[in-house]
Amino acid sequence: MNKCNSLSALADKLFQKEEVFHDFYFETSSGHNAHYEDGKIEEISSSSSRGIGARIISSDTSTYAYAPSTDFSSAVECLLQATNCAGIDIPDCFPHTSETDQILDDPEKLEPPDYSFMHKIDRYIRDYSELVTQVSMRHDCSRKKILMLKDNGGIVEDQRFYSTFIVQVIVQKGNKIQTGLESRALSLPLRKFQEKIDPRQAAVMALNRALLMIDAPECPAGEMPIILSGEAGGTMIHEACGHGLEADIIQKDFSVYREKLGTKVASEHITLLDDGTLYGYYGSLNVDDEGTPSQRTVLIEKGILKNVLTDYFSSRKGNLPLSGNARRSSYRNIPLPRMTNTFILPGNSLPENMIRSVSKGLLVKKMGGGEVNPTSGDFVFQVTEGYLIENGRITTPVRGAILTGNGPQVLEDIIDVGNDLSFMPGICGKSGQSVPVTDGQPSLYIKNMIVGGKETGHEVI
């Protein structure tokens, strides 16, 4: 830590006549992954990296420099590069250094997983159904160790583990092809991850979904009530609403929620949280990537917009509280306000009673990919597992459904919330960066949505 103190002293000396904020981010990471396809392990790889990033915030401008090293001289060089980019004069007498002492040491070696179980799963799934044409799997584990040297000289350290298993099963019947996908991901070391998840069960779920959908008729199109099952996992809420509550999006005037703090933005049934403190969840953090402790933030409370997600830059710019949501992909990236684990609190209704109240509608049990315009909140999402509801009963599975709508309007149109709550992990992209997140929701009764399907008269843009 003596080197951290020396680095802080150098920065203080450099900026003693300037009103600037500065910090350092050090990182080492390592990981292993395997890709299984066509009855064999196609690829096994391991990786490791280390690096440092130095940031300066002056007025409303942020400058950042990074290097693939964690030694003292690289940290000083990054600081000087960021200072120069910020247009701040560097005194001729400022000391340069070639010291190679490491600020952040490597953690102990990360052992690779045993991948042999993939062969057993492949055989089991192919024996399960003769319609199976392909089984693909991916298994990853990684560890990241970070150290942040804050503007006030404070030192914050953290270590993070990530483990994932993804399986995709493709079935074919005549000229019809259907895909089932399941993923499991937790912020846990590999051993604890393996204790909590059953990869064969995930593969069977993927297969069953593909088999179910291959014989399903196409979904009828039109405007209808939607029951969005808790199993759908909150993807639509994350994409259609969550990004619009990140402070930088709001401050750039790209969010439909700009100037909405303290106003009603959703049904009174909706309380939306972001909570990075949930143990083992894929988006969880002890501290964010600026060293702010992770916390539970109430974004929407009974329909009223209460808070937004911030990092230091957006907090300073908007005079907003720090929420512990500064995140970055790696030392090469500047931190941004990002979601962690974002979910709607459960209500009191039984999902089966919600279904009974629908005369004709659609039950959505699994969401696929989609597109969202954060400025307007308009979205398009695919449904990968859906069922018709007729006279209060689930009748037949349907395929090819597409949900189109507007995120804020959907929040307003939720007329009931189930007492169940399910979570789904994912990777969230923003500004070229990707970070792990978890999305969650209970079952939601949405009054009306436009469903695109067979013979649809609605053009999807």
Task: For the chain, report the end-to-end CA distance as a whole number of angstroms.
Answer: 55
* pLDDT of res. 385: 95
Q: Give how far the C-alpha of residue 324 lies from the chain's centroid of Cα atoms, to the nearest Å.
A: 15
Pairing of strands 61-67, 132-149: unpaired
Give 100's pLDDT tier (boundaries 50, 70, 90): confident
pLDDT at 224 over 80: yes
Helices (H), 349-394: 351-356
> What does the pLDDT read at residue 458?
30
Residue 392, pLDDT > 50, answer yes
Q: Which two tokens stand for residue 103?
A: 């600020």
Is the sign of the CA dihedral 120, 124, 127, 129 positive or negative?
negative
Q: Which pLDDT does position 460 carry in this prediction?
A: 30
The whole-number pLDDT of residue 456 equals: 38
Percent of the chain whose predicted confidence (pLDDT) is above 90: 81
Where is pLDDT greater, at 18 or 32? 32
Amino acid identity for residue 450 in this structure = I
| Cβ within 8 Å of residue 188, ≥6 positions away | 161, 163, 196, 280
138-153: pLDDT as tens digits: 999 999 999 999 998 8
| Amino acid, single-letter form, for residue 240 | A
pLDDT in tens, 257-274: 999 999 999 999 999 999
Alpha carbons 267 and 227: distance in angstroms, whole number: 15
Return the pLDDT at 236: 83
Does 409 have pLDDT greater than 50? yes
DSSP-derived letter for residue 374 is T
Long-range pairs of 310-314 with CB within 8 A, sequence gap ≥ 24: 310/247, 310/337, 311/247, 311/248, 311/335, 311/336, 311/337, 312/21, 312/23, 312/57, 313/57, 313/62, 313/248, 314/247, 314/248, 314/251
Q: What is the pLDDT of residue 63?
A: 96
Q: Are strands 21-37 and 40-58 parallel, antiparallel or unpaired?
A: antiparallel
pLDDT in tens, 350-369: 999 999 999 999 999 999 88
Whether residue 309 has pLDDT greater than 60:
yes
Measure the CA–CA gap between 35 and 42, rounded to whole angstroms.
6
Q: Residue 105 above 70 pLDDT?
A: yes
Answer for the pair 208, 342: CB distance below 8 angstroms, yes or no.
Answer: no
Output the CA angle 410-412-416, nearest 5 degrees. Answer: 90
Q: How far is CA 156 from the centre of its chain?
A: 23
Side chain identity, residue 299: L
Q: What is the pLDDT of residue 12?
A: 85
What gap in Å lies between CA 313 and CA 345, rounded to an integer? 29
Residue 15 gets the label, from left (phi > 0), alpha (psi -120 to 50) or beta, of alpha
Please provide the CATH number assigned to the domain covering 2-214: 3.30.2290.10
Q: What is the mean pLDDT of the chain?
A: 93
- In this structure, what token pair is assigned to residue 357? 């109240």
Find the mean pLDDT for residues 423-435. Answer: 94
Residue 400 has pLDDT above 80, yes or no: yes
AA letter at 362 = L
Domain boundaries, the chain: 2-214, 222-452
How many angstroms from the chain centroid is the CA of residue 456? 32
Both tokens of 83, joined, read 């200072």
Other Cβ atoms closer than 10 A to 168: 18
Give the mean pLDDT of 28-33. Answer: 96
User: Mean pLDDT throughout 89-113?
Assistant: 83
| Amino acid identity for residue 420 in this structure | D
> What pLDDT shows up at residue 238?
87
pLDDT score of 457 more than 50: no
Cα-to-chain-centroid distance, residue 209: 24
Q: What are phi and psi of 445, to 5 degrees?
A: -100, 110
**Does residue 24 register a pLDDT over 80?**
yes
pLDDT at 190 over 80: yes
Q: Which residues contact 411 (CB under 8 A, 6 or more apart)?
A: 241, 265, 266, 267, 270, 300, 303
| Greater pLDDT, 274 or 15 | 274
**Which tens digit of pLDDT belongs to each residue from 52-91?**
999 999 888 999 999 999 999 999 999 999 999 988 888 8
Question: Which residue is associated with the tokens 């400022």?
Answer: 94
Distance CA 287, CA 145 (A): 12
| Residue partners of 436: CB distance under 8 A and separation at least 6 | 162, 185, 187, 282, 283, 425, 426, 427, 428
Predicted local confidence at residue 94, as pLDDT: 75
The pLDDT value recorded for residue 65 is 98
Contact (Cβ atoms closer than 8 angstroms) between residue 217 and residue 398: yes
**Tens digit of pLDDT for each residue in 286-302?**
999 999 999 999 999 99
Q: What was the pLDDT predicted at 19?
A: 84
Among 346-350, 435-439, 449-453, name the one with the lowest average pLDDT: 449-453
pLDDT band at residue 454 using 50, 70 and 90 as cut-offs = low
pLDDT at 1: 63
In the predicted structure, residue 93 carries a pLDDT above the cut 80: no
> Alpha helix locations (H) across 178-254?
190-196, 199-214, 235-237, 247-251
